[in-house]
Amino acid sequence: MTTERAEADTVAVTIENRIAWVRFNRPEKRNCMSPKLNRQMGKVIEELEFRDDVGVLVLSGEGDAWSAGMDLKEYFRETEAEGLHAIRRSQREAYRWWQRLRWYEKPTIGMINGWCFGGGYGPLYACDIAVAAEDAQFGLSEINWGILPGGGASKVAQELMPLRKAMYHAMMGENLTGKQAAEQGLVTEAVPAAELKARVTAIAEALLKKDANALRATKWAMRRMVEMTYDNAEDYLIRSQEALHSFGGAAARKEATRQFLDEKSFKPGLETFDASKVKG
């Protein structure tokens, strides 16, 4: 018998050097998402979003799993027993924080340290960058117990993977290793498990050196353009750059140009400019 965790204990947070390490904290359940966890995750990411001591958010899991998806007992048995209103409420609690994470003000990194199944694909897709351990396991097992991969999971696979690979993944219910997931586009890259945190830390530290306003505009633009035509995307990017100027973009560009042309202190194709010197 395991003791049921208090809602506040379902998510763990550590902030170090402007990196917020947010972890699913139900290791005894392979971090599968419960109504309590989803409510708490919504509170946590909202509280962290505008903190000055947080520049990057990393989402990971305690123990040997990232997230095994939705808790079948709590979602598919207990919630369904309460009726449609309870199902809709629980769906809203989960989808709301996944959506918030997709459009987060700050860069986000998924650090997939183990199992990532079904409902875990929602927050996986929401993270801007995803780095997995090579021996992590990714799966859409829904077909194996008689349903389709819902909650956006099918869309995530179709969006990130080549269609034939996504179709096989969803229809066969076979797992992918982290290395295979990277090869098929489900995650950004895969590294040996022993190197996972170091690699994620290096990415986070690189992001912290970049202009925060430009990063926000870039990540939002990349997501918005998914369903745009080329002409629409071209116009959107022009308007986004104009808007960025009102949020420090003009000052950042002026300072970066000064460092490149006058100081010759950095090369844009190889490194980032020193954003700490931006004035205004």
* Helix axis angle, 212-224 to 230-244, nearest 10°: 160
pLDDT of residue 76: 67
Tell me the whole-structure pTM to 2 decimals.
0.89
Largest CA distance in the chain: 68
Give the angle subtended at the CA of 107 by the CAs of 103 and 112, to the nearest 5°: 100
pLDDT of residue 167: 96
pLDDT of residue 87: 66
Segment 83-141, tens digit of pLDDT? 776 667 767 777 899 999 999 999 999 999 999 999 999 999 999 999 999 999 999 98
pLDDT of residue 1: 46
Low-confidence ranges of the chain (pLDDT < 50): 1
Give the C-alpha separation, 65 to 77, whole Å: 23
Give the C-alpha separation, 279 to 248, whole Å: 9
Contact 33, 40 (CB under 8 A): no
Adjacent-strand bridge partners of 113: none
Strand 56-61's sheet: what is its strand order?
11-16, 19-24, 56-61, 108-112, 129-133, 189-191
pLDDT of residue 244: 80
Number of Cα atoms under 13 Å in the Cβ half of residue 243: 12
